[in-house]
Amino acid sequence: MKIKNLEDVFRHLPIKGEVAFASVKGKFQEKIKKQQLRYLRNHVDELKHVLEEGEEILLAAHGSSPFTAVEQLTTGLWIYHIKRCILVLTDRRVLHFPSNYRFKPRDSVAQVRFQDIESFKGKRRITFRYKNGIKEVFSQIKNGKRLVQILKQLVTTVSTSSQHGGRQHLCPRCVAPLVKDRFTCPRCRFEFREPGTARLYSIFLPGGGYFYTRHPWIGLGDAITEVLLIFFTFLFFLQYFMSTQRDSSTLYLGMFFGGLLLLEKLVTIYHAKHFIKEYIPVEKRYTRIPQPKPIKRTGIKTPGRTYEEERVTFS
């Protein structure tokens, strides 16, 4: 759904305006309202599909998804663009939408239930510690101070943890919780791109790992780099073995470029391995399956049963 008028976002989504459009001091600001609606505009369809019955949006924030030290070391400041995301805080959970460099959706979504959060701290760089022992850092968070302020009112450390205990990815087709390291939805059998295939693409196709994980611009740069390294490696080895007077410096140059090629391949495999954890759908176009409507009571009371044991049906 393409939305040009920002006010249409407010009509399509259950936004709690008195919270979402307020400053840290709790005062409504038209500037914040426009900012929040811009943040949400590209994710209206995804949010309408993911949000539960009666769930309200409290705040949206741009930022960067968690990444490893090796990812940052091998990409530099580009990692903040590669890992861009939008965080949507509701009255029940934090929704995480990995995005492209323009904050457009990547057909991937994860959630963090409030009862799974053990602690959190920060403003621009927010660190979450979950009850399963995992710690994650979301960086470059715009509206991070306001996000933490609202979270403090919603999250309690005494609440019990869910079965998962941390951030959990959801199927973008049927919104079912996905099983870690299993790249097929357990409910609708929707398929996601797999690490084994990503590894093969990374090894045998220049830039293949990035193209497979839907990072085309990085893949293009990587492909050019790989082709040049392959060319120089082959050229110097060919000169060395075809020459009647073999020069050891030519061999060393061939080994040098070959080593760079190997290092570049290892970096590509490493990146593809981590990109694939965002659960990227195999199909770019798919039909979303509506969530089941909330359970309603039939109103028929069975003798000898408590009210909680009444028969229920899906509407």
Domain positions in the chain are: 6-191, 197-278
pLDDT in tens, 238-289: 998 888 777 888 999 999 999 999 999 999 999 999 999 999 999 988 899 9
Question: From CA 118, how far away is CA 208, in angstroms rounded?
Answer: 39
Instruction: State pTM to two decimals.
Output: 0.86
CATH 3.40.1410.10 fits 6-191, yes or no: no
| Average pLDDT, integer, range 291-300 | 59
Question: From CA 78, how far away is CA 192, in angstroms rounded?
Answer: 25
User: Residue 305 above 60 pLDDT?
Assistant: no
pLDDT for the residue numbered 221? 94
Collect all residues with Cβ–Cβ distance below 8 Å to 98 and sequence separation of at least 6.
Answer: 65, 83, 84, 85, 106, 108, 110, 278
**Average pLDDT of the chain?**
88
Structure confidence at residue 315 as a pLDDT band (50, 70, 90):
very low
pLDDT for the residue numbered 19? 94
Question: From CA 278, how far away is CA 213, in angstroms rounded?
Answer: 9
User: Residue 6 above 80 pLDDT?
Assistant: yes
